[in-house]
Amino acid sequence: MSSREDASTGRHAAHAESFTHNADAYAAVRPGYPPAAVDLLVPSDAHDVLDLAAGTGKLTEPLVARGLRVVAVEPAEGMREQLVARLPQVEVLDGTAERIPLPDASVDAVTVAQAWHWFDEPVAAAEVARVLRPGGTLGIVWNDRDEDVPWVGAYGALLHEVAGPQLARGTHPTLGDAFTDVLRTDVRWEHVLTPEELVRLAGTRSYALVLPADEREALLERVRTLVTTHPDIAGRDRVPVPYVTRVYSARRR
């Protein structure tokens, strides 16, 4: 099933809603974005930036740190609460990619981190084009674990068993005629976690969150066994998790 077909189902809504109930764990263990990726997401001459589907603010934070004027839009209340607590100086609005609560031509750049696959793509692309000033940019990013590394592949395989095909992995944005100069760049880096944080990380995936409690616990126990026994990482206090961060940038015509 493609992410777009999935977007029209109740399952999709349940997944999106699931983020609200796990915002604490999400903020604690999900990876952020390396500076090289942030450089690619927002041009150096941008001032006003919309961070769309901002979640708990993992990308919003480095944008603010760069001195940008950032508005964050996020539909899940639990995520917004975390974001406001973390970055009180940021304007945080309730809204969706399909209905962005901003005027036409009001921002220089829009960023979307780890969320484009949740959107109704043609509707979201048109909305992003509407709020961007002409020549403004859209930056879309996904953090993919590098599953070519054997223990990471085994960790991913456990999650894929419950997730079915990964929703985000391999998703390429199709932006339509309003955008040009679409460019993809991969950034490799590592996020260091403790073994128990690796278990919690599995629990923040939307497909794990929507499992019945006993199945979710069983999954996390299998993940715990893997991270404590896999010969490449067993016995370590800190485990570097390799990521390939995919950055797409495009310019509004």
Residues that bind ligand SAM (CB under 6 A): 16, 19, 30, 53-55, 58-59, 74-76, 79, 96-98, 113-115, 118-119
- Is 244 in contact with 186 (CB distance < 8 Å)? yes
Complete edge-to-edge strand list for the sheet that includes strand 91-93: 91-93, 69-73, 48-52, 107-113, 132-145, 239-252, 179-193
Query: Minimum Å distance from CB 195 to ligand SAM?
Result: 22
Phi, psi (5° rounding) for residue 146? -85, 90
- Between 58 and 200, name the residue whose CB sits nearer to ligand SAM: 58
Would you say 107 or 233 has its CB closer to ligand SAM? 107
- Residue among 132 and 233 whose Cβ is closer to ligand SAM: 132
CB 41, min distance to ligand SAM, A: 11
The DSSP element (H or E) to which 181 belongs, if any, is strand 179-193
Q: What are phi and psi of 242, to 5 degrees?
A: -80, 135
CB-nearest residue to ligand SAM: 55
Cβ closest to ligand SAM, residue 118 vs residue 155: 118
Nearer to ligand SAM, 141 or 227 (CB): 141
Distances (CA, A) of 149 to 145, 153, 161, 242: 9, 6, 18, 8
| DSSP string across 66-105 | TT-EEEEE-S-HHHHHHHHHH-TTSEEE--BTTB--S-TT
